[in-house]
Amino acid sequence: MQIPLISIITINFNNLEGLKKTMQSVFEQTYKNFEYIVIDGGSTDGSAAYIENHKDTIDYWVSETDTGIYNAMNKGIKVAKGEYLLFLNSGDHLINTNVLSDCNSFINLYELIYFNLKIINTNDSYIRCYPDKLPFSYLVNDTLPHPATFIKATLFDKVGLYDENYLIVSDWKFFIESICKYNVSYKRIDRTLSVFYLDGISSQLNNREIINKEKNKILNKEFSAYVDDIKLLLEINPLITNLKKSRKINFLIKLGLLNKF
């Protein structure tokens, strides 16, 4: 099986220390069949100079003003030559030096390939695993991790680029539309690919209101026929879960008086 070229894209704005961590994890990979793209938003903290100092190991880079996160990510998509794209934004990093070598054989056939993600918080860290199946009810409240998801480049032709009209949730919009509207193929791989720190814009509690507002706008615009149904389902699910745990219910099932549900 021919291993496809990967485009690793890093966007950055005034996050020099995070950028160093990200770029170093890419440079140190034992696997080399990838191109590296760095999109800087005109940083003034020394990031541009750091990128330029490493230009010999970067396939494409630019430092210029942009209109936000998704504008920068779209710039990366437009210049990428790889068959699969991985967004490893400043601060995120690959989990070890061999991870691309270990995981590259899985990067083929499917339009989305997603791995586990190590999440580091202020006081702890844990491995976040994602489900094998991604129903609409799951994606309404959750998403795939862009630092641990390989996206086939042709998917951006099918679904479109990231919607720059939204501040925080355009990657969520892209994934829920890809899977639930365009029925793209996807595969979960039970290995940990990268590390994510809970200090990004989507992780900040004071952005929760913006996130909910943007999500509701997208759901009502793109999935209006399902909104009421999914609200009802989300209300019922906790009740079903509690019933499954009920000793009386399980006793009646054992007696054959109730069917297992």
Residues, the chain: 261
Give the pLDDT of residue 143: 96
Give the pLDDT of residue 179: 97
Could you tell me the residue ranges of all domains in the chain?
Answer: 6-205
Give the pLDDT of residue 223: 87
- Kindly list the averaged pLDDT for each block of 10 residues, start to end, along the chain of length 261: 86 97 97 96 97 97 96 98 97 96 90 97 92 93 96 97 96 97 97 88 67 92 78 60 62 60 53
Give the pLDDT of residue 250: 62
**Are the C-beta atoms of 126 and 201 separated by less than 8 Å?**
no
Collect contacts of 139-143 with beta carbons under 8 A, ≥24 apart: 139/172, 139/175, 139/176, 139/179, 139/180, 140/176, 140/215, 140/219, 140/230, 140/234, 141/234, 143/171, 143/172, 143/175, 143/176
Tell me which amino acid residue 112 is.
Answer: L
Q: In angstroms, rounded to a whole number, what is the distance separating the alpha carbons of residues 39 and 13? A: 9
Here the tokens at position 145 are 């991790």
State the Cα angle at 164 between 158 and 167, rounded to 5°.
130
Here the tokens at position 37 are 């793209």
Total-model pTM: 0.86
C-alpha distances (whole Å) from 178 to each of 37, 73, 89, 150 are 24, 17, 21, 13
Q: Which fold has domain 6-205?
A: Spore Coat Polysaccharide Biosynthesis Protein SpsA; Chain A (3.90.550)
Give the pLDDT of residue 71: 98
